[in-house]
Amino acid sequence: MKKTCSLLIALSTLPAFADVEYTLKITQPEHHLGEVEVTFPKSAQAHMDIKLADWRTGRYQILNLANGIRAFDATDSKGRELEWHKVDKSTWRVHLDSPTQVTVNYQVYANELGLRARHIDDSHAFVDASGFFMFSESFRHEPVTVEMKVPDQWRSVSGMDFAGNKHRFKAANFDVLVDSPIESGINQLHKFRVDGRDYELVIWGEGNYDVDLMLSDLKKLVKTGTLIWQDYPYERYVFMVHATSGAHGATEHLNSTIIQRHRDAFAKRDDYIGFISTAAHEFIHTWNVKNYRPAGLVPYDYVNPNYSDLLWLAEGSTSYLEDFLLLSAGIITHEEYYKGLTKRISRHLNTPGREIQSVAQTSFDKWINQGGDHGKNFSTNIYSEGALISMMLDIKLLDDSEGEVSYRDVHTLLAKRHELPKSFNSQDVINILNEISGQDYSAWWKQNVDTPFVLEVDALLDKVGLTYRHPVSSEEVAGFDGQAVSKGQLLELQHVARGGNAWQAGLTSGDKLVAINKHQVRDTLDNTLALFAPKEKVTVHFIRRHKLMSTEITLSAAQSKPKQVAAVLQPTKRQQQLYLAWMGVPHPNAQ
């Protein structure tokens, strides 16, 4: 972490002060409560604004974390109470009559495990500083210490260095603290060393995971960094895993990650690939986002949104590159990669919003974009769409250069030239593309990044010896352009594709299908449609606003089995050449 930390320290232009000291005491874990004490160095200001973050790094969404703060008070260096009032929902203004050290105390309600912001219970505390620790811009760049007052049997682990005891940590400044979560509690800890760097795997919770397999694959994974970047920005890295229920997802941090999965979602091969793919994703973020990131995200503004039209590159490119690392390292097979790519392409083609919103637009609007039926019809996703744009760009570079230049070279140069505290914008990326390709990518960028792109699947995959086709056993069946889930004896529409047959018939999400041509619906939409022929015109009875209604719809012609990505059986020499340059391993049918 030495390089990144030194860069963050360099952001400070203020004179040195004493440390900012944080203490978290677990008081009533069964009620998710803790007490925080923060001591700020002596200040001569007329007042000090003390803030709690409104969002946390890695999740571009306002979280309103101050809603868990109660019992705030402030005292001076002699323990005398200081006057204070709230300026806004997450800012406390403390008034100073004379220069003094300021100590604030407050209670934190920590029951947001799924947000990966803060959680306390009788078995552990997960501490992301954004959800626990207030800060002052006046001392944001000063050194900090964190003391955990926890039960004796608990173990505390963090990407930060220890400071004197097993529950005390130190960081160069608040930016390092907020990007270095702490997992404290009853947990497993496994340490290993690869290529001169130290690693830790800490697991909270019981589950059907195989620790030996996890360690074996993590050791393979962490060796792959130099396949893209020239060096590592850390000397120690911590993988934190929550085997739990009711929470899933992951977040990247400076030299650590937190990964949450259901306790029973590790053993099956598909589930395990989900875990190790997530680990690869967060590992890549150690460079892409934590070592170099778009201008709109530098520096982080913890109380206001950081807007960027390049979040697709920060997140989607990370999703794309994870497959390269996993396949190159032999952690997943070609077929497992194709299975994941199939899902990504199918999701894109079944998202009408791809025709409305470009990846640049969805990046900027990440703070307000929503999921659900409207989101799917009118917007896109920075992860899946960004991954596909990255693949398009990668294969184009490889095709244009006869396999000599790839998208990985773009990230190599971003890390080299735009390392924090520098940043980069879209033109910087275009300049790199022009430089390494010897061509002008401005028009391509405008057509595919700034404008909703069109994915020419067959032509794209053919360049690297892959196909995207229905299995030979697939048959034509009746189709309904929407999705539904069983609700008792009814089927409730969850999504109606914009412009599809159900949309044109006036159906919408929330409608409850009762019958089609007077045949009561079955347990699934597919089983219900099996009674009818492709292109057949039918009458649908449904319930809306507690009233029985009906409409006519012409069923489409669909396929019983979806398209799948597969390797061509006899790839040409050029396809073999580009596949090897693309994935780092030979085409599965190479001769």
CA dihedral 507, 511, 514, 515 (to 10 degrees): 10
pLDDT at position 3 is 46
Which residues, other chains included, contact 239 with Cβ-Cβ below 8 Å and sequence gap of 6+?
Answer: 199, 200, 201, 202, 218, 256, 257, 259, 279
Chain length of the chain: 591
Cα 465–Cα 467–Cα 471 angle in degrees, nearest 5 = 145
| Residues 563, 569, 572, 575, CA torsion sign | positive
pLDDT at position 2 is 44
pLDDT at position 18 is 77
Of 405, 401, 406, 424, the closest CA to residue 414 belongs to 424
Of 275, 457, 492, 487, the closest CA to residue 350 belongs to 457
pLDDT at position 4 is 44
Query: What gap in Å lies between CA 221 and CA 199, rounded to an integer?
Result: 12
Q: Are 56 and 131 in contact (CB under 8 A)?
A: yes
pLDDT at position 371 is 86
Query: What gap in Å lies between CA 315 and CA 33, rounded to an integer?
Result: 33
Tokens of 346: 């199918």
62-95 as b/e, with b when 16 or more CB fall inside 10 Å?
ebebbebbeebebbbeeeeebebeeeeebbbbbe
Give per-10-residue mean pLDDT for the chain (591 aa).
43 56 96 97 94 94 93 95 96 95 97 94 96 96 97 96 95 97 98 98 97 98 96 97 94 97 97 98 98 96 96 97 97 97 96 96 93 92 96 98 97 97 98 97 98 97 98 96 96 97 97 97 96 97 97 97 97 97 96 87
pTM: 0.92
pLDDT at position 516 is 97
Q: Are 45 and 138 in contact (CB under 8 A)?
A: yes
Report which DSSP code applies to 66. G
As to burial, measured by CB atoms within 10 angstroms (0-12 exposed, 13-18 middle, 19+ buried), residue 449 is buried
